[in-house]
Amino acid sequence: MTLTQQLKERADATAAKKSAEDLDILNNSVRLVDDAGIVNNALKVGENAPDFALTDATGNTVRLTELLDAGPVVIAFYRGAWCPYCNLELKALQEMLPEFRAAGATLIAISPQTPDESLSTEEKHNLQFPVLSDSELTAINGFGLLHPVDDATKEYYEKSGYDLVKSNGSTGWQLPLPATYVIAPDRSISYAFVNADYKLRAEPADVLAIVQGL
């Protein structure tokens, strides 16, 4: 089953058990992000990726330009371990990690979670690629992906037990749009998948095809 199919299956299951009011809140959150034009302002193919230095789950500093010395880099921006769609994406990327490595690419994932939360994510899914903490929103802002969580969605998340202040630290109720980028060794962006709908993600096989074509 492809990641796209898994995501749809999850979305359908969620829709079947949520109240109409909750579904309206979630659907409206997507519309608000779309209307804000954040997708249009995010970095696009042909532009240069900003350099960044972030901490991995074990406290080591990872710098983009140093990774690029070894070849292209695939970056998956995700919302956090509390997001089931993010978890499906991370699992799918892990399954294709050998193919990405064989193509000469380095795979990393970035979220606004604190290092402790990132470590929990890495261990939970037995991820063999770096999970980086961007709790200061350096890379997320640099790629133009940051958006505030609207009040109704915040209340829904709190009711559901999602404490973004705890998981993200001082940045609190702000999230990145889920996005996938392929960065060429010269820092140019070769592929960009950014969508206002958090339930949609890049298909790993499509990302791999871009890497293999570099």
pLDDT digits (tens, 9 = 90+) for 105-164: 999 999 998 765 655 666 666 889 999 999 899 999 999 999 999 999 999 999 988 888
- Count CA atoms within 13 Å of residue 173 on its CB side: 12
In the chain, what's the furthest Cα-to-Cα distance? Answer: 50
Q: What is the CA radius of gyration of the chain?
A: 16
Domains of the chain, first to last: 3-212 (3.40.30.10)
Average pLDDT, the chain: 93
What percent of the chain has pLDDT above 90? Answer: 83
Q: What is the pLDDT of residues 38-65, one digit of tens each?
A: 999 999 999 999 999 999 988 899 999 9
pLDDT value of position 162: 87
* Runs of H (alpha helix) within the chain: 3-17, 20-35, 38-41, 64-68, 84-95, 97-102, 115-125, 138-142, 151-159, 164-168, 204-212
Identify whether the C-beta of residue 61 lies closer than 8 Å to the C-beta of residue 205.
Answer: no
pLDDT value of position 57: 83
Nearest Cα to Cα of residue 138 among 55, 71, 47: 55
